[in-house]
Amino acid sequence: MKRLTQLAFSLYELLVALALVSIGTSLAVPSLSALQQKSEREALRNHLHASLNHARLQAVLNKTSVELCGSRDGATCSRDWSQGWRIQFMHAPDQVLQIQQHRSSTPLYWAGFDSRIRFHANGTSPSSNGRFFQCKGKEIAWQLILNRQGRVRLASHQENLAAAQRCRG
């Protein structure tokens, strides 16, 4: 005659497993949060870089001046880049080429000669050179640098360290 035995975990084994899972989760959650914030910053940087290139391309293709400006609501230009931006023809601001809204936990900053970025028909941006940056604590997470020729580049780690005082003030 066969004896039927039940296989199961004891209460002690379940409590130990639960304790190990909770310890692992408590260690993983801060890392996941940091990874999510890093991903949000990189997505914002990539969208901005693409928008700058798009505005320059539209200026060259349409043989007219195009401007990119900060916009809180997507309808009007402002000096504030923290909620998004819009791309429009300079001489016909009612013709909007692109509206980009973002909701980032860390604001986006522009440091340049003018609050708006203008691309001329030849693709240059002589009066709109400057830099976009986003802070991570008291350090710069990234910078996009716009030169007078209208080209955009990502700043190096050394440039970010040298400009870190922008996030401390």
pLDDT one-digit tens code per residue, 116-164: 999 999 999 988 789 999 998 899 999 999 999 999 999 999 999 998 8
Topology of domain 43-168 in CATH is: minor pseudopilin epsh fold (3.55.40)
Rounded distance between C-alpha atoms, residue 12 and residue 145, angstroms: 59
pLDDT one-digit tens code per residue, 88-129: 998 887 888 888 888 777 788 999 888 899 999 999 998 878
60 within 8 A of 7, measured Cβ to Cβ: no
Whole-model pTM: value is 0.80
pLDDT one-digit tens code per residue, 7-27: 777 888 888 989 999 888 888
- According to DSSP, the residues that pair with 109 across neighbouring strands are 133
Rounded distance between C-alpha atoms, residue 15 and residue 32, angstroms: 25
Q: What share of the chain is helix, strand, coil (3-state, %, to 5)?
A: 35, 30, 35
Instruction: Give whole-number Cα distances, 101 to 3, 31, 75, 82, 151, in Å.
Output: 69, 27, 11, 9, 23
Quick check: 35 pLDDT over 70?
A: yes
Instruction: Give whole-number Cα distances, 156 to 24, 40, 159, 162, in Å.
Output: 35, 19, 5, 10
pLDDT one-digit tens code per residue, 54-67: 999 999 999 999 99
The domain locations on the chain are 43-168
